[in-house]
Every structure is written in C-alpha cells, then in structure tokens.
Structure 1
Amino acid sequence: MEPLSRRLLAECLGTAFLLATVVGSGIMGAKLAGGNMALALLGNTLPTGAILVVLILIFGPVSGAHFNPAVSIAFALKRDLPWREAGPYVAAQITGAIIGVWMAHLMFELPVWQVSLTARAGSGQWIAEFIATFGLLLTIFGCVARAPSSVPYAVGLYITAAYWFTASTSFANPAVTIARSLSDTFAGIAPAHMPGFILAQLAGMLAAVALQSQLWPMRRPSL
C-alpha cells in the first residue's frame, strides 16, 4: 500500500481535475450552446464521464481513486479503509474540489471567488441525489466484487448516464456539491441548497452499503 501522504495527494489532485472538468466544461458548453440548454448539458456530460475514466485509471493504483467523501465513508463502513484515514481522505477531496473550481475560473478569466445563485432544491432533486449516489456506490461495489478492472469505465458510463436520467444531473458527491456552490456558472448550486443534497447523498450511500453484502456476498474458497 502507498504511504498515506501519497494517497492524499492523489485524492486531492484527482478531485481537482474532476471539478476543473465539471465546471470548465459547463462554462465552455454554456458559451458555445447559444442558449440551447440540452446542448450545454451534453457538453458538460461527456467530458465529465471521460475524465472520470482517465482519473480512475491513473490514480486508482495509488489511492483507490475515491474522489468522493461518500465513497471513502462507504469503504470505511465496510472496513476496507481505516477510519483514521477516512477523515484525511475527505479533507483532501474537499480541498482538491475547491482548487479545481478555482482553476476553472482562472482558465476562463472569471473571478476566482464566487458564490452560486443557482437554485437546486425540492423533493425531486433530493430523491434524484439519493438515487444517483445509491447507483454510483452499487456500481463501484459490484465492479470491485466481480470485475475490478471495469471500475473506471463503469463509473464514467454511470455518471454520463446519470447526468440525464436524474433531475439533479447527478452530483452524487459531497465534495462536488461543496465546490460547485463556489461557482456561479452553469454547474453551480446555491450554498443554501447544499445540505439537502449532501444529506440525500449520504442516505443513498448508506442504503448501498446496507444492500451490497446481499448482492455480492463474499465467496468462500473452494475446498
């Protein structure tokens, strides 16, 4: 296993690139779509799914490529990540996410410090975040249990799909939610609406943790 410091650096860098992609592609998509929201969303979706594949491939062997507090907490609950390391993982992810948002702003010559005004609230949004996170964790658990090499592609494809089948466009990540509140761009979320999203995400994660052992029980070695 890699030293904790190296794993935290990978988590910070990976989450930074993820958020730079989410926010940067949202800005670019909105600029080029000419007011067509469907086209802007597509321009936001495809780069996000693609970068997830790349980031998991390059950082997975270092840190596990969580890039998501819900994933780190889930693995801690499963005892696959020590609790003493889960906190530093989450801190590295949130730090990286905020850095990624600021880098996107700098690339597009926007003010670095922003607060989003985009309203994202209501029962439909919260149910969507529960489902998005629940599905993401099941995707990860199922692939880890039966086809570990498929994790990067499955996660990228799941998020690409979930952008479109969920009402919330699938944040499915507390660090992403926090960081996107600091960008008043296409991908933003108003800070007042963060708690509902994060609670729904954590509830979806807990439901997936509770169900995964029933779907993918540990295989006993053959005698």
Structure 2
Amino acid sequence: MKHYSPTDYVNWLEEYKVRQKAGLEARKIVASFSKRFFSEHVPCNGFSDIENLEGPEIFFEDELVCILNMEGRKALTWKYYAKKILYYLRQQKILNNLKAFLQQPDDYESYLEGAVYIDQYCNPLSDISLKDIQAQIDSIVELVCKTLRGINSRHPSLAFKAGESSMIMEIELQSQVLDAMNYVLYDQLKFKGNRMDYYNALNLYMHQVLIRRTGIPISMSLLYLTIARQLGVPLEPVNFPSHFLLRWCQGAEG
C-alpha cells in the first residue's frame, strides 16, 4: 500500500487485474530464464525481454519478491533467476536516478542523496530510501538541538525548520553547534571509526553506518557534514590523498 496515496482514487478491480497480469508475465519470464541460461551469469542481452515490460514495474517486482519468499527450498531455480532479474530491474532504475542526480546544476549539492543512491545500487534487495535515512538523521539532529539548548538556549540553530538552508556566520555560534554534535555523536550515541575491520563494505553504506554506528572517514564525514549543514554550520568535503576530510569554513574570521 505504500505505493498509493490516500488522497487518490483507485479502481481496485482494475488494479487487481493489472497486478495479476504482471504476475503472470513475471513468472513466464523467470521460467524462460531457467530454460535459456545454464551458466552462473546471465549475459546483458538476456534482460532484453524485461526492458519491454508492459504495465507498472512495481507489480512485476512484487511478483519476483513473492517468488523469492516461497517457502523453504521450493523452486530454487526460479528463486535464483528471480533474484537476478530483481537485481537488474532495481539497479537500472537506481542508475537512471543517479545519472539524473549527477546532471543537476553545480549549486545543487546533496551529498546524502548521492550516498543513498550508491547504497541502493549496491544493496538492491534492501529497503533503503532517502526519506527513511533522512528521518534517522533528523532524529540525531533533535538530540543535538537538545544538547545545544543546554549550551545556549537562544542559539539561532534551534529556530531552524526542517528543510531550511540557513547558515550561521558567527564563529562562536558555529563552535557551539560542533561541540553539541561531537557530544551526541561520539559520547552519547557512540559513533566511531571501524579500525578493526576497515575494508568491510558495510562501512561505506549510509544505512549500515546508522545501524551499526561505525564507518570509515568518507561515510562518517558525510553523516557529520549533513547534520552540521542542517544546523547552519558550513563544512566542506576535502578529497585529500588517501583520505577524505572535512573543512570547517570559518570565512574571514578564520
């Protein structure tokens, strides 16, 4: 039901018919894969039938998920190819979104959105969305604001509304935000760098960084930068050789 708006009229009978047709088409294609391909990998041109699908793609994906969730060890061959097809469908959609994102003008900067697209592409079967990750970050921002209120109850960042793009120019006020952030992230929530398992791919994915509260410089920096910008502190990423750093932009006073 998450694909429907509560304010839109839906002819549920027609919607059911479309869903059933998409389900039959999905099963037909999965069955054809098991007959046509015998090697471990499906060639790129093997997905040509999928690119010409009729009807909503979400219904086709839903049927593939149903196949993957079939009980026990039934239909293992179908499950194998259903997973391959689902990977292809979702990665193509994410790749198109990422290409559109990269074509945005230079003044449109959302490092978090780009990080989420990469996360989604590498984990196409996981339920990852910018909305959910932003909500988790907003929860951290609320904790920072609570701490900041104890430092300076009249701090201008406390008046910022969600989605606002405002910057604080006074260095002392910026420093107060960073102090509150450091306390919440590293003392209260125990975020830390993963020195013991640095090259684990999970360190790169934003949804995993938020769950495990550990990461590597680039993912931890993107999280820190996103929170700081929401609270009006201008930080900039620096692609240093062999490292990814953040720069505190203190302007003329710096």
TM-score higher than 0.5 here?
no
Q: Which has the higher helix share?
A: 1
Larger radius of gyration: 2
TM-score by length of 2: 0.25
Greater RCO (Cα-Cα under 8 Å, separation 6 or more): 1
Q: Which has the higher strand share?
A: 2
